[in-house]
Structure 1
Amino acid sequence: MSRRHRRRKPMAQINVVPYIDVMLVLLVIFLVTAPLLKQGVKVDLPRVPSKPVSSQATQPPLTVTVNAQGIFFVSQGANPTQPLDAAALRRIVGEVLSKNPKTQVYVRGDSHVSYGKVVEAMGILQQAGAEKVGLVTEPPAANSQR
């Protein structure tokens, strides 16, 4: 009673199914978490036709946001600060500009905030040492007729 052992022939192919499963799981994770990573202050920017600003800076610009309630926020990169008063805004912007005076500075003013609050922000930036201040707007919608 000899029992013959069949030897399986070795497979020369790579089983890629586990790799595809892992990639699909990662894709789902990134699709779910991507909207959560976007942080910021909700601002309804005015819609006006304008040219985009060319950025040749090596670091992200400093953006001061004035929301609809007239509260100031500062961000450099993606994460905005907590609500600030005028003195704290002046201090933070002054510190950033003292480290790098060539930092580009922009103001994002909500279209529903009073003009005086945006001008106040620009005055604070000038006192803090900003030589040039840009205003951020959104292009008008293609289908809107104003």
Structure 2
Amino acid sequence: MNGPFNRGGSRKPMGEINVVPFIDVMLVLLVIFMITAPMLTQGVQVELPQVTSEAIDSQEDNEPIIVSVDREGGYYLSVGGEEMAVDLQELGDRVLILLDRQPGTPVMVRGDRYVPYGEVVTLMSTLQVAGVANVGLISEPPSRD
């Protein structure tokens, strides 16, 4: 009798693993990560100092690009001592052009004490969209009154 429960000697055990369920799970995880990954990279990354900051030792020959925000919300671009007023829309383009000419030039942000935090975040976001990877913040040491 050759039924389904007959253990005849002619059949060999199957030595393969069915990987189709594993592939299905991996594709679902891939889709989930593809959707959530852009959400994790939004925002501007800033490392705040834990102690009183010291002056930065400039070991590079390039003058830094300094982007300033005054208390009225005006934006200024300073390169090599020359300062010009710029619009926020053209600021990113100008910084990108300067970095194309001299790659590795440090970019520093200087904001007035009374500028709303949102203005500085908008400025740093504009620089990030323009392709600036690292942005430094300029501050003055506390007065010893």
Higher RCO (CA < 8 A, seq sep 6+): 1
TM-score higher than 0.5:
yes
**TM-score, length basis structure 2:** 0.62
The aligned length equals: 95
**Per-residue Cα deviation, 1:48-98 (whole angstroms, up to 9, x for no partner):** 9311111111120000000001111001111201x2221110110010111
Residue number among 118, 121, 125 corresponding to 2:120 in the alignment: 118
Runs of 4+ in 1 over 2 A off after TM superposition: none
Alpha-carbon deviation of 1:105? 0.4
Deviations 1:9-30 (A, max 9, x none): xxxxxxxxxxxxxxxxxxxxxx
User: 1:94 matched to which residue of 2?
Assistant: 96
Q: Indicate the residue corresponding to 1:5 in structure 2.
A: none
Amino acid at match of 2:74: I
In structure 2, runs of 5+ residues without a counterpart are 1-50
In the alignment, the residues of structure 2 paired with residue 125 and residue 103 of structure 1 have an alpha-carbon distance, to the nearest angstrom, of 13
Q: 1:64 corresponds to which residue?
A: 67
Whether the aligned pair in 2 keeps the contact of 1:97 and 1:129 (CA below 8 Å) is no
Cα shift at 1:99: 1.6
SS at match of 1:139: coil
* 2:54 match: 51
Computed over aligned residues only, the root mean square deviation of the Cα atoms, in angstroms, reads: 1.3
Structure 1 stretches of 5 or more lacking a match? 1-47
2:79 is aligned, of 71, 76, 79, to: 76
Q: Distance in 1 between matches of 2:123 and 2:115?
A: 12
Kindly name which structure, 1 or 2, has the bigger radius of gyration based on alpha carbons: 2
Q: CA deviation at 1:101?
A: 2.3
* TM-score calculated relative to the size of structure 1: 0.62
Give aligned-pair identity as a percent: 39
